[in-house]
A = this chain, B = another copy of it.
Amino acid sequence: MATTQLPPELVTAADDDLLDGLADDLNPHPMIVHQEAPRFNVTAMQSLLDGKLGPIKQEIRDLLVQDPLFIKDEYISHEDFREITFARAKRLAEHGLGAMDMPTKYGGRGIPNATLALMEILSHYDMSLVIKQGVHFGLFGGALYQLGTARHHEAYLPGLLSMDYCACFAMTELGHGSNVRQIETTATYDPVTEEFIIHTPSESARKEYIGAAAQHANLSVVFAQIYVAGDCHGVSAFIVPIRDENLNLLPGVSAQDNGMKMGLNGVDNGRLWFDNVRIPRENMLDRYAQVTPAGEYKTEIASESKRFFTMIGALVNGRVGVATSALGATKTALTVATRYANRRRQFGPDNAPEALLMEYGTHQKRIMPALAKAYAIDFTLKEMVARAEHSGGSEAEVRELETLAAGVKAYATWNNTHTIQNMREACGGQGFLSVNRFADLKGDSDIYTTFEGDNTVLMQLVAKGLLSEYGSQFDDNGMYALMRMLSSQASRDIAEKNPVITRLRSESHLRDAEFHQNALSFREQVALVETARRFRHQIKAKKLPGFVAMTRMQGDMLHLAKAYIERVILESFHATIERVTDEKLKAMLQDLATLFALNAIHEDAAWYLERGYLTGTKYHALRRQVDKLSGQLKWQAIYLVDAFAIPDEVLGAPIALEG
């Protein structure tokens, strides 16, 4: 275990004697310098982060540490890497870790969202395995479970969970990456034989980038435009066998390897083509629409558009999984860099030992806000999942959670790419060596900003959701009036209504949670009104077509989406803190929430300054607070990453461990 296992008496004190004790007797990493005792109970923090899935997380950590199949080989061919990744996925299945949220009668554990524990802990270890098992259990399994009905569950779930077969998820097509609704693959019903004919009508319709399609998949769920009696009813999903048990392609199915990638080379991504492949009528996943043997298309959701988004909506859990996996990678990078910063010395005052990297202002600025952000995202994901589990299921609530999942996926994955890069640079040349983990973390997770929805597209979806929700609250005149009130000049009026807030710049004010909430809410509200108003201007006054207006407004929309997500994240952080009773833990979390909020305002300072919400002098004080707080928390960083509880054997990185 990588966590510093502190006896309770140590945790509550912070004097030099205890630090000596820590260094001599208890610290499992003697190379790492501890300059302060922890200000909080590290085990309690780990429990908070582990959450209710803690026992499952520990089960996975133990498996990764104890089973020799999970020992990595630095030099491995991509062929061997694919095979061992497949074998590791099967090992997870043997331990019943594959689809823990499925019902026990099919071999699952019936624990909602338990898969997220797997996504996070495996991401400390190897993201090829995250994706290989995620495609099979999560994407294929999720489609089967959410879009299929009892007969599909009976027929396919037991084999899925035991991994008797390997499955893939054929949605994306070459020509229509993010634009799933425009896919071209066809599924034409033939009432004579009671079969669907799956067909790839053009090169741009080939299924592209499908995990497990190049080598291992026996079954695929294929998304296609469904044609019944000559009419197209939009995108539908079908179970299509593609390889026999000896992995020979079935007649009419062609596959091609996607070849080497920037990362995730343990996954056999490939292309698929279907040449009039016939499948039984029963293979249609028919929860939302059915085709009778005679060839009648029936559905309870009359609108094709609504049907499409209902179907896609049923699959968005994948986005929460991707965000969770990205967070797991972020935590791994933070752990390596933080430990290195607490042992590596470079330059220093004359006639004295060189300084630890953590003593440098730029280093603190790289690590501390990133740590605060990782905690913030962690709590937000937990809040989202809890809300979904307790949701009444109203359409408005479901839509809000979908919007949030899309936004948090984009936010967490961009943050992950950015943080890993920063942590690599913070480890200098050592960070470039594969053993120290950044090579894989970076290469593997880079595609996270693209798959399960390109981040730019997702953020636009979020903004559209906010704008349409906002628009629906007002009739045309009311909306215009409100917009006029709040826009441009008006944004300053709002600030002037808060003259106290605008002018205050004491430390107590700058660290006050109420100020942070006010600042992030103000930004979200004003961005919403400004964006709506500008949209209206483009369309009404400038007479631009809606699509053209949208392409021009993308920057505003992305900013609005970010403002929304950061406001939600801060609220989730504060909600988490409210539930914590341990005073020291609470105090540490409050500091982290403050750092997250100040940093978010700091990063968008130009926006606040443009609107007069910040004055120059207040901004000056605020950015100094980010530096100051980062400096004040710097020696706690080592404990904050200990609470991530990444076992040494899983972390690997020698620079984070030994001499």
Contacts and interface: CB of A to CB of B under 8 A. Distances in A.
Interface stretch (A72-80, A233-241, A573-581): A72-80
Interface string A327-363: 0000000000000000001111110001100011110
A605 interface: yes
Contacts of A434: 259-262
Interface stretch (A99-107, A396-404, A612-620): A612-620
Given A346-B176, A551-B355, A429 B443 contact: no
Given A179-B354, A558-B362, A619-B610, A454 B428 contact: yes
A363 to B, nearest CB: 8
Contacts of A627: 552, 555
A82 interface: no
Contacts of A345: 175
Nearest to A347: B179
B439 A443 contact: yes
A73 to B, nearest CB: 10
A610 B610 contact: no
Contacts of A551: 355, 359-361
A74 B179 CA distance: 30
Interface string A547-565: 1100111110010000000
A577 B633 CA distance: 49
A349 to B, nearest CB: 4
A609 interface: yes
Nearest to A604: B606
A438 interface: yes
Interface stretch (A8-16, A144-152, A417-425, A517-525): A417-425
Contacts of A620: 610
A352 to B, nearest CB: 8
A421 B209 CA distance: 20
Given A261-B439, A552-B361, A450 B428 contact: yes
A258 interface: yes
A359 B258 CA distance: 28
A74 B259 contact: yes
Given A258-B433, A346-B178, A348-B547, A78 B78 contact: no
A452 B74 CA distance: 27
B74 A75 contact: no
Contact of A606 (B175, B361, B449, B606): B606
A147 B627 CA distance: 42
Contact of A451 (B354, B359, B429, B548): B429
Interface in A191-220: 203, 208-209
A252 interface: no
This chain: how many copies in the complex? 2
A616 B530 CA distance: 15
Given A349-B545, A446-B424, A362 B262 contact: no
Nearest to A437: B262
A258 to B, nearest CB: 6
A182 interface: yes
A217 to B, nearest CB: 18
Nearest to A602: B606
A429 B360 contact: no
A442 interface: yes
A359 to B, nearest CB: 6
Contacts of A432: 261-263, 446-447, 450
A518 to B, nearest CB: 19
A546 interface: yes
A343 to B, nearest CB: 11
Interface residues of A, number: 79
Identify which of A77, A439, A449, A492 gathers the most chain B CB atoms within 10 Å of its CB.
Answer: A439
A177 interface: yes
Contacts of A365: 555
Interface in A438-495: 438-439, 442-443, 446-447, 449-451, 454-456, 492
Nearest to A611: B616
Interface in A555-612: 555, 558, 605-606, 609-612
Identify which of A258, A424, A432, A434 gathers the most chain B CB atoms within 10 Å of its CB.
Answer: A432
A429 B177 contact: yes
A53 interface: no
Interface string A361-379: 1100100000000000000
Contacts of A421: 417, 421, 446
A27 interface: no
Contact of A609 (B261, B443, B616): B616
Contacts of A501: none
Interface string A619-633: 110000001000100
Contacts of A606: 605-606, 609, 619
Contacts of A605: 606, 609-610
A33 interface: no
Contact of A439 (B260, B347, B433): B260
A178 B77 CA distance: 34
Identify which of A262, A435, A455, A548 gathers the most chain B CB atoms within 10 Å of its CB.
Answer: A262
Nearest to A460: B362
A412 to B, nearest CB: 15
Identify which of A75, A177, A349, A428 gathers the most chain B CB atoms within 10 Å of its CB.
Answer: A428
A172 interface: yes
A619 B177 CA distance: 36
A208 to B, nearest CB: 7
A408 B218 CA distance: 53
A359 B549 CA distance: 11
Interface string A261-275: 111000000000000
13 contacts: A75-B260, A175-B345, A176-B346, A178-B346, A261-B433, A262-B433, A359-B551, A362-B456, A365-B555, A432-B447, A609-B619, A610-B616, A610-B620
The 5 closest A-B pairs by CB, nearest first: A609-B609, A262-B439, A605-B606, A349-B547, A260-B434
